[in-house]
Amino acid sequence: MILEVKDLSYRYKTGRTIFHDVSFGIQEGEILSILGPNGAGKSTLLNCIANLLRPQSGQILLEGVPMERMGVEEIARVVGYVPQSHHPAYDYTVRDFVVMGRAPYIGLFSKPSQEDYDMAEEALERLGIQRLAHKPYTQISGGERQQVTIARVLVQRPKLILLDEPTSHLDYGNQIRTVNMIRRLSEEGFALILTTHTPDHVIMLGSRVGMLDYDGGMTFGSVEETMTEERLSRMYKLPLKVRYIEEIHRKACFAPNLD
């Protein structure tokens, strides 16, 4: 098991509980999609797993080791994180920004090797954004930054990749390409956890889903069994439907009327 989350709870300093008693695990090659409305705590949960926030209770284990016993570099060799947005302070080129993903493997006073740069070039090519290699990271669009940050995580070579709404800044074509990329990464053995607002992306990815409600509870299970019309309608406060569409050979989620 790459990741085990046991009875995790988090609340703000104001006392409001965001989520409570969350438990799940994920193995190599698995995808877990976390679905929920705005403000339900999806990003907060990822930030806890990424060691950016400390939960109020519960435990996170990486390959059986409690996270609190691990150093930053040890965690970075297991967990890679693609945040929802990233705003750098310096005008690094995209190529240099991506090669920073190799930091857990480069000594404190060492420089990236040619192999590190080759890995960065390969990741950019894989995402179809090699044209951006020599542009300043601060001068590319939000959608391009999202793809570049994914490239940086790929060169980090973690075992678990966390993606916080990875399609939020992308046009429709790049959304579908990103969903397909996530499926390919799982086939290569990466474990992936992503947050999303789009039920259709969860259906396309299949595997498992965690549905996070406003009350802080989380329901886990297979996409087929867990993403019911009743749960989705209750979550989004709309009469949503889930139907099999013959033309696309899969189910889709939609609102039948716009009133």
CA–CA distance, 110 with 233 (Å, rounded to integer): 54
Beta partners for 241?
254
Mind listing the pLDDT tens digit for each residue in 202-246? 999 988 999 998 888 899 999 999 999 999 999 988 899 999 999
What is the rounded distance in angstroms from the CA atom of residue 82 to the CA atom of residue 149? 6
- The pLDDT value recorded for residue 258 is 65
Statement: residue 14 has pLDDT above 90: no
List, for residues 110-148, the tens digit of each pLDDT value: 889 999 999 999 999 988 899 999 999 989 988 888 889
Q: What is the pLDDT of residue 259?
A: 60
pLDDT of residue 221: 94
66-88: pLDDT as tens digits: 999 999 999 999 999 999 877 77
Cβ–Cβ < 8 Å for 16, 9:
no
Nearest in space to 146 (alpha carbons), one of 181, 113, 112: 181
Distance of alpha carbon 200 from alpha carbon 111, whole angstroms: 43
- Mean pLDDT of all residues belonging to the chain: 91
